[in-house]
């Protein structure tokens, strides 16, 4: 490793008379401003509740003990995703404030502001112009709102803090060659992997930074040091891909894409995220799912355009390596979300704002650096006012975006305004209405979900359940029969079908469905209670009492009904 480094080729110093992109405030002052700005922009989300899968991340009752903490680390499948450090953080947070959503939202905002501060520190360490402006853009950019306002995405904010901390520790090691710095960097990198494995891209990012700073000699000098990290990242990525497929269910017909289709998808995904970063309009919680057709000539334009841009940046790298380095880091950080590896959200959309939270740093870093080069050619008033206007605009957009997350009904209704064919939002909104006793409204949404996704057994079962609530048992039967036919191991559908059958003078068939539900889920208390009721009506009192006692043991609240 050379002890003296040449200046990065894209960090040209601006003329002495060029206006500064950011006031010469102290680091402490800048950090305080970042935290204040983030808290103001995300104020609407701080009072929000839980949405969608948040309840699957906030620590369950059976995991709240020390034994539960051990299960989080050593039992894959004990938590929704095997990210043990993330779920350890949720475990600690639950011990501090329980189920209160405010604490989780506040922690997410504070982690985001911390990531922005570390981002500025990293850019200053790399001598990239406009570091604090870049950090403020990241703190207030609305594409980050999904990651910050959604409790489950603490995996993004926490892992990014660890990712940036590992980067800073590694750069200190590069300059000082002290083993302690390398050890700290490695610990932070492993911690990031244990929080979200998209951070596996960090060693590749550091190699790109080495190339940007010192060309290929810099890469060769640091490759050996980063080889263990590359191996750890590969192992983490493979483990997550395995869990996505086998524990979460990212497999089946919806994920059966050919290699050609995956390449076409990747090309479109990259441009989608670039566009949303540059022009953050019409941001949605769930975007429409594209159809990727290998026989569509237009689909090839996206990957070809990406290759053409990389070629142009590679040609320009003889003068400045910065733009190509930023593009490589952006695309590399997005790699886990490009479609080459199955991820469960691909079931309903190939893109999501939270997928580009980490990747956005690369292009955001490039923007102030490029602006710095334009500043000398602009009137001083424009050069000073433009960044202020940009920050104000981004903060306003984030405030509005964060408001979408104040409650789950608002989130799904806003999603359906922009994506009316979102079957998942229709189904989930129907569940909310059904739980609140508004079965008529629930039926409307379940029917809409089946209109846009006819082979959706969960919506069939939910629609049948809502019709049961309305005592429209005969109408419920065909939906519930289709649900169990399409998904024979669907315990809820068997239970709902049992209710419909028992309510249409077919008690024996109803009891058979209740028993099927119990075979699939031995702890299904409601199915046991329904079976007990059906047995009692059939005069089988002894067995009915046994099932009732078992149901109450599993769920004492059923005794209140």
Helices (H), 75-130: 84-97, 101-125
Residue 280 contacts residue 141 (beta carbons within 8 Å): yes
Average pLDDT over residues 411-439: 96
For the stretch 486-498, pLDDT in tens is 999 999 999 999 9
Query: SS in 3 state form for 354-416?
Result: HHHCCCHHHHHHHHHHHHHHHHHHCCHHHHHHHHHHHHHHHHHHHHHHHHCCCCHHHHHHHHH
Q: Percentage of the chain surpassing pLDDT 70?
A: 96
Indicate the pLDDT class of residue 458, thresholds 50, 70 and 90: very high
For the stretch 339-395, pLDDT in tens is 999 999 999 999 999 999 999 999 999 988 888 878 778 888 887 888 899 999 999
> Which of 131, 134, 157, 132 is closest to 146 using CA atoms?
157
CB within 8 A of 391, min separation 6: which ones? 37, 133, 136, 137, 140
Q: Is the pLDDT of residue 195 over 90?
A: yes
For residues 379 and 2, the model is more confident at 379
Burial-class residue 301 by CB neighbours within 10 Å (0-12, 13-18, 19+).
middle
Q: Is the pLDDT of residue 206 over 90?
A: yes
For the stretch 522-534, pLDDT in tens is 999 999 999 999 9
Q: What was the pLDDT predicted at 248?
A: 84
Q: What was the pLDDT predicted at 6?
A: 43
Q: What is the DSSP string of 167-199?
A: HHHHHHHHHH--HHHHHHHHHHHHHHHTT-GGG
Residue 109 contacts residue 402 (beta carbons within 8 Å): no
Q: Is the pLDDT of residue 15 over 60?
A: no
Q: What was the pLDDT predicted at 20?
A: 64
Indicate the pLDDT class of residue 9, thresholds 50, 70 and 90: very low
Lowest mean pLDDT among 21-30, 268-277, 317-326, 443-452: 21-30
- Secondary structure of residue 41 in the 3-state scheme: helix
Residue 423 contacts residue 413 (beta carbons within 8 Å): no
Residue 209 contacts residue 324 (beta carbons within 8 Å): no
Average pLDDT over residues 184-192: 98
Helices (H), 404-506: 408-418, 423-435, 439-452, 457-469, 473-486, 491-502
At 435, list the tokens: 């739980």
Q: Is the pLDDT of residue 13 over 50?
A: no
> Which of 230, 344, 341, 356 is closest to 289 using CA atoms?
344
Q: What was the pLDDT predicted at 24?
A: 80
Residues in the chain: 561
For the stretch 40-97, pLDDT in tens is 999 999 999 999 889 889 999 999 999 999 999 999 989 988 999 999 999 999 999 9
Query: Where along the chain do its domains lie?
Result: 27-58+99-409, 421-560
Indicate the pLDDT class of residue 19, thresholds 50, 70 and 90: low
Question: Helix (H) and strand (E) counts for the chain?
Answer: 25, 0
Q: What was the pLDDT predicted at 425?
A: 97
**Tokens 């500043």 -> residue:** 375
Separation between Cα atoms, residue 130 and residue 133, nearest integer Å = 5
Report the chain's terminal Cα–Cα distance, integer Å. Answer: 73
Q: Is the pLDDT of residue 10 over 70?
A: no
Average pLDDT of the chain to the nearest whole number: 93
Left (φ > 0), alpha (ψ -120 to 50) or beta: where does 437 sit?
Answer: left
Q: What was the pLDDT predicted at 3?
A: 39
Q: What was the pLDDT predicted at 37?
A: 97
Domain made up of 421-560: CATH architecture: Alpha Horseshoe (1.25)
Q: What pTM was computed for the model?
A: 0.92
For the stretch 235-294, pLDDT in tens is 999 999 888 888 888 888 889 999 999 999 999 999 999 999 999 999 999 999 999 999
Separation between Cα atoms, residue 461 and residue 479, nearest integer Å = 7
Q: Is the pLDDT of residue 502 over 80?
A: yes
At 559, list the tokens: 């005794």
Q: Is the pLDDT of residue 233 over 80?
A: yes
Q: Is the pLDDT of residue 453 over 90?
A: yes
For residues 137 and 253, the model is more confident at 137
């Amino acid at each position: 490793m050379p002890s003296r480094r040449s200046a990065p080729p894209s960090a040209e110093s601006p003329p002495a008379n060029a206006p500064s992109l950011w006031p010469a405030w102290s680091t402490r002052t800048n950090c305080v401003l970042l935290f204040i700005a983030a808290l103001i922009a995300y104020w609407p989300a701080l009072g929000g509740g839980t949405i969608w899968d948040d309840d699957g991340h906030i620590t369950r009752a059976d995991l709240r003990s020390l034994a539960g903490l051990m299960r989080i680390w050593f039992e894959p499948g004990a938590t929704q995703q095997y990210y043990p450090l993330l779920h350890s953080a949720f475990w600690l947070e639950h011990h501090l404030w329980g189920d209160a959503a405010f604490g989780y939202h506040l922690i997410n905002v504070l982690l985001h502001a911390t990531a922005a501060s570390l981002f500025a520190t990293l850019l200053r360490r790399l001598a990239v112009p406009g570091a604090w402006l870049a950090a403020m853009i990241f703190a207030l950019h609305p594409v980050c709102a999904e990651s910050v306002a959604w409790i489950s995405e603490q995996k993004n904010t926490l892992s990014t803090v660890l990712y940036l901390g590992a980067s800073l520790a590694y750069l200190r090691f590069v300059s000082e060659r002290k083993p302690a710095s390398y050890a700290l960097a490695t610990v932070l990198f492993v911690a990031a992997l244990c929080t979200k494995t998209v951070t596996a891209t960090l060693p590749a990012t550091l190699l790109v930074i080495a190339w940007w700073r010192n060309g290929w000699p810099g890469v060769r000098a640091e490759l050996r040091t980063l080889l263990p990290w590359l191996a750890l990242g590969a192992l983490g990525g493979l483990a997550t891909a395995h869990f996505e497929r086998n524990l979460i269910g990212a497999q089946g017909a919806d994920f059966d894409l050919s290699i050609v289709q995956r390449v076409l998808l990747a090309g479109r995904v990259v441009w989608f995220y670039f566009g949303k970063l540059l022009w953050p309009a019409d941001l949605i919680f769930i975007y429409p799912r594209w159809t990727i057709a290998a026989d569509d000539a237009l689909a090839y334009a996206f990957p070809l355009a990406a290759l053409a841009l990389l070629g142009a940046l590679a040609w320009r790298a003889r003068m400045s390596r910065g733009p190509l380095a930023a593009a490589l880091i952006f695309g590399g950080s997005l790699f886990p979300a490009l479609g080459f590896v199955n991820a469960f959200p691909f079931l309903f959309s190939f893109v999501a704002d939270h997928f580009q939270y980490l990747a956005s740093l690369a292009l955001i870093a490039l923007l102030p650096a490029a602006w710095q080069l334009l500043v000398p050619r602009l009137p001083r008033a424009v050069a000073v006012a433009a960044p202020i206007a940009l920050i104000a605009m981004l903060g306003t957009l984030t405030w509005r975006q964060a408001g979408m997350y104040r409650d789950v009904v608002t989130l799904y209704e806003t999603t359906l305004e922009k994506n009316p064919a979102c079957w998942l939002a229709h189904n989930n909104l129907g569940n909310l209405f059904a739980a609140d006793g508004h079965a008529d409204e629930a039926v409307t949404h379940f029917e809409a979900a089946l209109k846009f996704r006819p082979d959706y057994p969960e919506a069939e079962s939910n629609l049948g359940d809502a019709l049961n609530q309305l005592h429209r048992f005969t109408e419920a039967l065909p939906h519930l029969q289709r649900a169990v036919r399409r998904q024979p191991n669907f315990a809820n559908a068997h239970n709902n079908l049992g209710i419909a059958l028992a309510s249409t003078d077919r008690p024996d068939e109803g009891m058979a469905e209740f028993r099927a539900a119990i075979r699939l889920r031995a702890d299904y208390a409601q199915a046991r209670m329904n079976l007990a009721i059906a047995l009692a009506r059939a005069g089988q009192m002894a067995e009915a009492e046994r099932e009732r006692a078992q149901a109450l043991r599993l769920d004492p609240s059923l005794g209140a009904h």
